[in-house]
């Protein structure tokens, strides 16, 4: 076939040559022929598009639905490409080929050809939906995982240009995996299973609370604050995942995590009992509904023609959602709350956040938003119980100033001197005048030092073993430990030996240097 562009260029060049010399001063402007391809003429319509238009007027097409006509036309044009960009705007609630005029139709097939080559460009959103409808119906991609991947790839690329597609494409991907019995792992990232799991955690916690509740008229045991911290953290995470108020991201949780966890758990338990006894629905069902089967329309808001009844089947998507087809009718057993965060639960958690900040005199208070009186009273009661428990279980802090030990020993020496009777004072100079005693062969300077501390040979041997890092092998170690602690109490003002987890004596780490220096 001749090169049309080259032929047009030759005709234009010949026309310029007849108009005169290039530098003739008598002629500045010259007329040139306006030549274009036949496909570029406004009245031109490619034959495949003519055939597609004619398909809608066939006798058999009169009984077709709009969805079937779209699919039949799409299959006819599955491999068609055009080269006539459309600069206008195309908008339609249910866009199909039939609602496009010829310019829009050629512009769509031109844009689609670029998309198939990997060139995804911003266009009218309705063009993007028509392309998605084609993939859902198996036009342009093999039905099954290849078409699923094609939908996912196009959506991920085009959402960077127009994120409004997310609202429809995410559920369409889930429906596509279910309808074609694909691996559930493909659909899980686009389903609200995390939301459903969080609601499941709340439902299990609610069941536990109700199982432990006393009989009607019985007295409720006080809440066990400080217990089951891991369970409380799991409950708080689940609440945070489905609430509009993100309590775990608040300043109070960062500074007082234990208080937030315990109070939230106590408030949740109290609300569970309140709803169970005073309302027609339990707390979790009131907030999110219950898991129940509901009719499910596959590919809602999309142009989809199944071509026949789907075979009976059951499809499990994760642990919280089940799809079932019976006689071509689909049902979905799941929560039907839309997967959104609960504003009602958010009000409860924000009230806890605000009331607890007030009770703790936290420097960053929250503003009052007109919370129900029953809710604020319930929360204040649990906060009061928690603060009472925390005060009763506050650890006793003991601080020992080792720098004052020397002063204590000096004062003890003065007191000892004041308590001596005259005869004891006379004995000390007499002993000094008698001269140094001849040491016994078995007595050494180290033994004299032991006598100053009042330690026996066995006690000193035990201390030497512990200071050297050797395990103590002494018999009756418990008696020796008590004796050593009593004799060295004046030295450090505390016990220097204790028993470790194996039951063996060990030096208290803080006093190792003091004992070593004394020996």
- Structure confidence at residue 475 as a pLDDT band (50, 70, 90): low
pLDDT at 336: 85
Question: Rounded CA gap, 164 and 94, in Å?
Answer: 16
Question: Rounded CA gap, 505 and 502, in Å?
Answer: 9
- Structure confidence at residue 440 as a pLDDT band (50, 70, 90): very low
Q: Residue range 5-21: average pLDDT?
A: 61
Sign of the dihedral through C-alpha 132, 138, 144, 149 = negative
Residues 6+ apart with CB under 8 A from 256: 356, 360, 362
pLDDT at 348: 93
- The residue among 470 and 179 whose pLDDT is bigger is 179
pLDDT at 398: 62
Does position 223 have pLDDT exceeding 50, yes or no?
A: yes
- Structure confidence at residue 422 as a pLDDT band (50, 70, 90): low
Q: In the numeric block, which tokens belong to residue 385?
A: 């119980």
Question: Rounded CA gap, 402 and 406, in Å?
Answer: 8
Question: Rounded CA gap, 296 and 107, in Å?
Answer: 35
Q: Residue range 480-504: average pLDDT?
A: 75
pLDDT in tens, 24-55: 444 444 555 555 555 555 567 899 999 999 99
- The residue among 335 and 135 whose pLDDT is bigger is 135
Question: Rounded CA gap, 497 and 507, in Å?
Answer: 5
Q: What Cα–Cα distance (Å) separates residue 508 from each residue in 61, 350, 435? A: 95, 48, 41
pLDDT at 495: 75
Q: In the numeric block, which tokens belong to residue 105?
A: 């139709």
Does position 479 have pLDDT exceeding 50, yes or no?
A: yes
pLDDT at 462: 83
Report the candidate in 108, 70, 74 with the shortest Cα–Cα distance to residue 89. 108
pLDDT in tens, 311-350: 999 999 988 899 999 999 999 999 888 888 899 999 999 9
- Structure confidence at residue 448 as a pLDDT band (50, 70, 90): very low
Exposure class string for 4-32: b at 16+ Cβ within 10 A, else e: eeeeeeeeeeeeeeeeeeeeeeeeeeeee
pLDDT in tens, 376-399: 999 999 999 999 988 887 776 666
pLDDT at 17: 57
Does position 228 have pLDDT exceeding 80, yes or no?
A: no
pLDDT in tens, 83-102: 999 989 999 988 999 999 99
pLDDT at 220: 62
pLDDT at 408: 74
Q: Residue range 289-295: average pLDDT?
A: 91
- Structure confidence at residue 427 as a pLDDT band (50, 70, 90): low
The percent of residues above 70 in pLDDT, for the chain, comes to 79
pLDDT at 4: 61
- The residue among 399 and 218 whose pLDDT is bigger is 399
Give me the torsion for CA of 169, 174, 176, 182, rounded to 10°: 140
For the ranges 29-43, 194-208, 427-441, 499-513, the one whose mean pLDDT is highest: 194-208
Does position 289 have pLDDT exceeding 50, yes or no?
A: yes
Question: Tokens 């004619």 belong to which residue?
Answer: 54
- The residue among 145 and 290 whose pLDDT is bigger is 145
Does position 430 have pLDDT exceeding 70, yes or no?
A: no
Does position 436 have pLDDT exceeding 90, yes or no?
A: no
Question: Rounded CA gap, 328 and 266, in Å?
Answer: 48
CB 376 within 8 A of CB 355: yes
Q: Where are the domains of the chain?
A: 4-35, 47-164, 193-215+224-289+341-392, 445-519
Does position 1 have pLDDT exceeding 70, yes or no?
A: no
Question: Rounded CA gap, 94 and 80, in Å?
Answer: 22
CB 235 within 8 A of CB 265: yes
């Amino acid at each position: 076939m001749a090169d049309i562009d080259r032929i047009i260029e030759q005709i234009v060049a010949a026309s310029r040559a007849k108009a005169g010399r290039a530098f003739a001063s008598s002629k500045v402007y010259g007329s040139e022929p306006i030549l274009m391809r036949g496909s570029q003429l406004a009245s031109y319509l490619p034959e495949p598009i003519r055939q597609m238009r004619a398909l809608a007027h066939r006798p058999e097409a009169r009984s077709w639905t709009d969805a079937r006509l779209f699919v039949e036309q799409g299959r006819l044009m599955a491999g068609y490409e055009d080269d006539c960009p459309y600069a206008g705007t195309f908008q339609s609630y249910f866009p199909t080929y039939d609602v496009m005029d010829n310019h829009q139709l050629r512009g769509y097939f031109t844009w689609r050809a670029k998309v198939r080559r990997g060139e995804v460009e911003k266009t009218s959103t309705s063009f993007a939906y028509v392309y998605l409808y084609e993939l859902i119906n198996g036009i342009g991609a093999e039905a099954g995982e290849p078409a699923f991947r094609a939908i996912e790839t196009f959506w991920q690329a085009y959402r960077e240009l127009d994120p409004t597609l997310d609202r429809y494409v995410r559920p369409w991907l889930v429906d596509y995996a279910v309808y074609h019995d694909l691996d559930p792992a493909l659909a899980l990232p686009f389903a609200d299973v995390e939301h459903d799991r969080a609601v499941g955690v709340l439902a299990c916690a609610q069941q536990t609370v109700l199982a432990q509740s006393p009989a009607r008229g019985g007295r409720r045991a006080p809440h066990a604050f400080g217990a089951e911290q891991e369970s409380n953290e799991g409950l708080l995470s689940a609440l945070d995942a489905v609430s509009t108020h993100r309590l775990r991201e608040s300043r109070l949780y960062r500074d007082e995590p234990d208080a937030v966890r315990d109070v939230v758990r106590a408030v949740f338990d109290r609300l569970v009992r309140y709803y169970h006894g005073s309302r027609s629905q339990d707390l979790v069902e009131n907030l999110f509904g219950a898991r129940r089967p509901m009719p499910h329309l596959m590919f809602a808001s999309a142009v989809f023609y199944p071509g026949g009844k789907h075979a009976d089947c059951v499809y499990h998507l994760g642990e919280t959602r089940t799809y079932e087809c019976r006689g071509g009718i689909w049902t979905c057993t799941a929560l039907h709350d839309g997967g959104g965060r609960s504003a009602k639960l958010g009000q409860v958690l924000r009230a806890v956040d605000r009331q607890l900040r007030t009770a703790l005199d936290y420097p960053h208070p929250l503003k009052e938003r007109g919370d129900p009186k029953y809710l604020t009273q319930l929360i204040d009661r649990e906060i009061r119980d928690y603060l009472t428990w925390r005060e009763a279980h506050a650890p006793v802090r003991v601080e020992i100033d080792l720098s004052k030990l020397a002063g204590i020993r000096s004062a003890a020496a003065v007191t000892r001197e004041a308590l001596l009777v005259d005869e004891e004072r006379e004995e000390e100079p007499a002993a000094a005048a008698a001269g140094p005693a001849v040491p016994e062969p078995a007595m050494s300077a180290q033994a004299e030092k032991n006598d100053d501390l009042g330690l026996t040979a066995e006690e000193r041997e035990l201390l030497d073993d512990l200071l050297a890092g050797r395990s103590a092998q002494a018999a009756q170690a418990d008696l020796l430990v008590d004796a050593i602690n009593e004799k060295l109490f004046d030295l450090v003002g505390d016990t220097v030996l204790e028993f470790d987890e194996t039951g063996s004596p060990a030096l208290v780490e803080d006093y190792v240097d003091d004992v070593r220096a004394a020996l």
